[in-house]
Structure 1
Amino acid sequence: MAAGLVISAPASGVGKTTLTLALARAWRNRGLNVQCFKSGPDYIDPAFHAAATGRASVNVDSWAMDRGTIAHLVSRGADADVVLAEGSMGLFDGVAARGVSGTGATADIAEMFCWPVVLVIDPSGQAQTAAAIAAGLRDYRPGVRLAGVVLNRVASPRHEDLVRRALNDAGIAVFGALPRHAEISLPKRHLGLVQAEEQAEIGKLIDEAARFVAEHVDLDAVLRSAASWPPQPAANGLNVTPPGQRIALARDAAFSFVYPHMLEAWRVAGAEILPFSPLADEVPDASADVCWLPGGYPELHAGRIASNVRFCSALRAFAETRSVHGECGGYMVLGTALTDADGIRHEMTGLLGLETSFAKRRMHLGYRLAELAAPIPGHRAGARLRGHEFHYSTIVAQPDRPLAAVHDATGAIIAETGSQRGRATGTFFHLIAEDR
């Protein structure tokens, strides 16, 4: 029977991912089967989880997914010894308006499966106040149980002692304390961590994190705090219609942001995924009946994409007879032009009229609920799609017919409607689920 834990924190940037990876690898090194999940819409962390455990990780999201879908995804941990769900942002951080089964907060997942929470606390610049924060999180929401804390980035033994004493007085277990250790810092860029597949030394970094955490954290105590979890077979699956029978999927460093559960659902439904690399000037498979361009970092590779004439010409030819859809970065590449952070304008494929610019950064971040005005591959007109948008581009032009009426989690209208022209469609949000 699996035992479950949630790794969370008071805020982002405290060390949740590093601790999750370290625990997962350390327990795997002991011969345990570890299954990770990511609570929330972050599409980068699951690849790190897979690198640490050797098992595929997926996102579970209470704003976008119903309980049946989440239970179906989580049931993959039934044969594991321990399940680790890594949270997003702070433990209770979500949106103001409830979604399908919650607000997107990590606490929703903890309560849903009765998994205790291990808090990562960074007491930099404080001492006893760290205990007050931990106690407040412990008592904030009935149904969410705190297992204990791991202190991160403690300044000195004296600093650690002050914080430990305060936590002990508050009745909160301290599983360990980590001094600052630059060797286990994961590199970052503007959308979060640099992707796992871009880091040749990721295995060594995770091994060092596991060694370091095993030296400073009581792994046995953390494992004992996990709750036994008898997963029940989910009444329903993912209810996803693949965009086609044979899907040409752009897949490389510029096109990598696609949720693992979506690819899995396509395969389970019988679709065949045919990856190709636009950065290598590869073209969609001629036998494919649809082409899908995920998001990623096209702004870092815009010059190379623009110069890859074979890819651009083949994609335009593909769209003359078959559907092409792009999400976020993929949508930008389907557009007319992309201006990079240095102000250099690069011609894109021109299947849509969208023009974007990174010369003046403007963050777009949040959940999206879209009602389609026209179909996209796998989804009919009128379908209600839930997704997440995160990019720093500015729309210079979006002249084509709107693809959807798009709202944020509060119901406010969003200007990023997506576009449709001929057989090409695109959205700024990454699809997570369709409302049933």
Structure 2
Amino acid sequence: MDEQLPLTGVKIIDLSTYAAVPAAARILADWGADVIKVESLKGDSWRQYGEIAQVPCTEEENPCWDVNNSNKRSISLNLRTEKGMEILHRLLADADVFMTNYRMAALHAMSLTWDVLHQTYPRLIWGHLSGYGNKGPEAERPGFDIAAFWARSGLMQDYGQPGNAPLTPFHAFGDMTTGSIMAGGLCAALYKQSRTGRGDKVEISLLGTASWLMGVPAVAAQKVYGNVYPRMRSEQPSPVCIPYECADGEWLELCIMDYERYYPSLCHILGLDGLIDDERFNTFGAVQGHSGEFVNLVQQAFLKRPRADWGPLLAAADIVYDNIGHFRDITENQQAWANGNLYERHFDNGRSAILPNTPVAFEEARKQASPAPLLGEHSREILREYGYTDEEIDEYIADGIVKVHTAT
């Protein structure tokens, strides 16, 4: 199967921690690349993230670790030693891509910057992810997604309701998004590499991704246009692109982009036929001046029936909508299962959980997710591939240069 995937034969060195770059590397691994995850002897801190997510994070069951690190191999090196760095450089000499989220000060100290590596390995692609970008007064600031992505971008504040506390997002949404875009950038560099034989520098930041994703609201919120956020639900630009509560307390989201085309159908469905010719509401320009009144009328109509009753009526009229779900609904979504977006992970302790696949599928095959590696699980295997003898490997282990996972 793997030989049918587009990145078969690509070698990637993933020197990263936490979520964003590991997510990018996971995507590339799913697309066929051989990803070697380089970890310290202590291991990536994300191995313990389950403590925050309140799910197991043991060697036998670590689902959060699997999400970002399946289909990789792990080598554990002490890069504070000369021999550890020598091993890393042997890996880099044979690699197509080096990707990292280490802060630039650390990369300078380790001589792993773009300038140094490009001079040594001209065809190597250097991919770097930071919190705030590598230029400007905040270049060296550490950044996690709920700070550099959510907080700084306005997402936390302006997607809520006025007067309420900012949203409290679950970790790693910004990381996963930024990593996904990074994977695309690295593929563009791989295409250039295939044409020219030269590597390229690929940089991305959490703030940069948030700025791009918030492009439309960022434009709308500029002072020149006079829009102020956050806004109440009844003050949104379109009263038919907001959530409505139904009789059973469940919510649905309307998403009508062509207002005047679907307005009569919506009124008919809701039993509001008397509003079809109402000049306060029957054009988009008019309803924006009477949004609060219209939202109240529509909300009262939706409260007359449970959500399950509204879906078939809206669908029959070709009105775009969806049920507003919960995190728990994702793993039970039959449409997601039908498209291979989910899979069941069976753990060594006999338990199982539903995990997401990376979202892109190709015509020939979808790589099946392998368990994410244990710390140093492939150290010996990888070192052998790069010409190290068992005697050398044993010596490195004894000297604290390499860590090898041993079964318990």
**By the TM > 0.5 criterion, same fold?**
no
State the structure with more CA Rg. 2
Larger relative contact order (Cα-Cα within 8 Å, sequence gap ≥ 6): 2
TM-score between both structures, scaled by the size of structure 2: 0.30
TM-score between both structures, scaled by the size of structure 1: 0.28
